[in-house]
Amino acid sequence: MVQRQSFEGTGRDLDRQRIAALEKQASLGDVIQTIPKDCFRISPAKAWARLVVNVLLVVLGYAALALNPWWWLLPALWIFTGTALTGFFVIAHDCGHRSFSTRRRINDIVGHVMLLPLLYPFHGWRIKHNQHHTFTNQIEMDNAWRPMSVAEYRALSPGVRAGYRFARGIGWWFASAVHQLNLHFKPSLFKPKDRADIRLSSTAVIAFACVLFPALLWMGGPWAVIQFWLMPWLVYHFWMSTFTLVHHTHPDIPFYPAATWTPVTGQLFSTIHCVYPAWVEFLCHDINVHIPHHVSTAIPSYNLRKAHTALKAHWSDYMHETEFSWSLMRSITRECHLRDETGYYLPCREVD
């Protein structure tokens, strides 16, 4: 049994004590050992059942959009359909971590198919995302919401500064779309051994788009593109941006230089469990039960809650939990922009 720690202090000083105690007490392997073995077991029945239910819900959303006679109901239908499409991403997310199926080919095929409606290239996303998992909250290597240093920010032109402030502020909800376009389609950003996979996924997305958009235009003109693709896609990116931002952003969780970063600090201490409304948790397959997923990507999404309960029984002193609210988003988007010399957040307004 893990011995409980006693901590004294407030805010960042208290969390520095926790980081030091955690790194002295355990490695990431020790943490993984406290998760029941059956949490790592892949269940084809559960995986395929979730996929089928998710597909039916997306079909239901599109059918409702096609048959709906009331303009005022459109926002609710877009929110439902876009959130259900976020579930497609989570299934592909399991595929990318090889936790949907024990067979690599099935993971690759399902991952590609699930991401096509979102115009996401599977291999381009998978490889960059695994880099985030390998180096979570490491300054030099993490590629997800890594804050700029004060010096980097001051070196930007005024226009680029404004864009950065927008992406970390009120425009956070669209930042994942920019991330998608900038990182996942360019073979030159990947190692030579991965570039054939990147071209394959990018070609699949481009081919799908060349069928999708002409078909929508033929069926209903520009409004069909807006109604059936653009609006659900924007809802998806709202959730994608929100989930990924909240997963690792907190005033008391720093980014660490490689010299002091450790896997157990990055994956256990620096990952946040956030509770969302039940309908979001259901449609998005519990992706925000996120700490066990960072402790081990081998845990399928349907086992995350059981794994989280086990982690809390042993490591609750080192785990961060919160609940989704607009006040939470306001706090993050107002305060968590740049990193100071110690790796902690500070707002842009303090250096502008």
- Supply the pLDDT for residue 24: 84
| pLDDT 10s digits, 3-32 | 444 434 446 766 777 788 888 888 999 999
Residues 320 and 270: their CA atoms lie apart, in Å, by 8
- Residue located via tokens 């819900």: 57
β-pair partners for 346: 338
pTM of the model: 0.92
Domain ranges of the chain: 11-350
- Supply the pLDDT for residue 23: 84
- Supply the pLDDT for residue 352: 84
Residues 6+ positions from 301 with CB-CB distance below 8 Å:
50, 90, 91, 93, 94, 99, 285, 286, 287, 293
Q: How many CB atoms lie within 10 A of CB 317?
A: 17
Please choose, from the candidates 54, 202, 174, the residue with its C-alpha nearest in 3D space to the C-alpha of residue 114: 54
β-pair partners for 339: 149, 345
| pLDDT 10s digits, 149-190 | 999 999 999 999 999 999 999 999 999 998 888 888 888 888
**With 50 as the cut, is the pLDDT of residue 340 above it?**
yes
**With 60 as the cut, is the pLDDT of residue 142 above it?**
yes
**With 60 as the cut, is the pLDDT of residue 147 above it?**
yes
Residues 216 and 232: their CA atoms lie apart, in Å, by 14
